[in-house]
Amino acid sequence: MQHHANQSYQDDEILSADPLQLVRLLYRGALNEIARARACLATRDIVGRSQAITRAVRILAELALSLNHSQGGTISRSLVELYDYIQRLLVDANCRQADGPLEEAENLMSTLQDAWQRCEPLPQWRPGEQEETAYTPISCAG
């Protein structure tokens, strides 16, 4: 019953999230999976480690696919390269059964997550307001 309630909460959180919140949720999910992989590695749970790493790799792939390269320019290209590097770290950690690459992946993802936490969402458009046609970037105050 508790699992069903947690899943329902997560589903509601995802369905009601704006794009910035979705990115934050993906980062949280990736970090949770990396932490789970590290815990499984420590207890020699091979299946659990592999499953957690696979989920983290899939989340990173989703983050990479969600980038808008026409508006993101250099930043989006750099993020794709960084996501690819983190995915390779995760695969390496799984193959070698090593914690070092997992730790590095976790540190990189934590740094990126901190940056996304500082971003402010764009104001929501309301019916009756003048719709802007120009692109307005998300503000990342730091």
- Domain-embedded: residue 123: no
Q: Report how far apart, in Å, the C-alpha atoms of 131 and of each of 17, 20, 120 are.
A: 21, 20, 19
Tokens, residue 113: 């997550």
CATH number at residue 88: 1.20.120.340
Tokens, residue 68: 């808008």
- Domain-embedded: residue 30: yes
With a cut of 60, say whether residue 131 has pLDDT above it. no
- Domain-embedded: residue 73: yes
pLDDT tens for 31-69 read 999 999 999 999 999 999 999 999 999 999 999 999 988
Name the average pLDDT for the chain: 84
pLDDT tens for 117-128 read 888 766 665 555
- Domain-embedded: residue 49: yes
Q: Classify each residue of 41-56 as buried b or exposed e, where b means 16 or more C-beta atoms within 10 Å of its C-beta.
A: beeeeeeebeebbebb
State residue 21's pLDDT score. Answer: 86
pTM: 0.76
Structural domain including 34 reads 10-117
- Domain-embedded: residue 131: no
- Domain-embedded: residue 98: yes
Number of domains in the chain: 1
> Rounded to whole angstroms, how far apart are CA atoms 115 and 24?
10
Least trusted range by pLDDT, from 14-18, 59-63, 102-106: 14-18
- Domain-embedded: residue 87: yes
- Domain-embedded: residue 141: no
